[in-house]
């Protein structure tokens, strides 16, 4: 569905124009002649993919390696362990 608005109407109530654009194309008229077209932009799921598709970004050459530290479960208090390490290191 195409809707037309005058430039004055568009300037006075841009949120109405965007709501109309959700349902279809909006043509903005300047002195009775079509001057602008307002349409809703459909975004893909991932904005990075959209940037890559448009050529504004390039994909990484290789995947970054994620380094994870080994998690060790303990029954001791973490604060006490830190205090013991500080004492041992002389802080």
d(CA 71, CA 67): 12
Any domain includes 12: yes
Task: Tell me whether residue 52 is in a domain.
Answer: yes
Residue 38 pairs in a beta bridge with 26
pLDDT in tens, 65-90: 777 777 777 777 788 888 888 988 88
Question: Residue 64 falls within a domain, yes or no?
Answer: no
Query: Does residue 2 fall inside a structural domain?
Result: yes
What confidence tens digit (pLDDT) does each residue in 27-40 have?
A: 999 999 999 999 98
- Tell me which DSSP letter residue 73 carries: -
By residue range, what is the domain housing residue 21?
1-58
Q: How big is the chain, counted in residues? A: 91
24, 46 Cβ separation under 8 angstroms: no
Q: What CATH number corresponds to the domain at position 35?
A: 3.40.1620.10
Task: Indicate the pTM of the whole model.
Answer: 0.47
Closest CA to 1 of 43, 40, 32: 40
Tell me if 87 is assigned to some domain. Answer: no
């Amino acid at each position: 569905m195409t809707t037309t608005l005058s430039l004055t109407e568009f300037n006075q109530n841009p949120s109405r124009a965007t709501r109309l654009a959700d349902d279809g194309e909006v043509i903005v008229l300047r002195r009775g002649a079509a001057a602008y077209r307002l349409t809703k932009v459909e975004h893909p799921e991932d904005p990075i993919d959209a940037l890559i598709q448009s050529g504004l970004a390039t994909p990484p050459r290789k995947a970054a390696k994620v380094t994870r530290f080994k998690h060790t479960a303990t029954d001791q208090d973490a604060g006490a362990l830190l205090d013991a390490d500080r004492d041992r290191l002389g802080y």
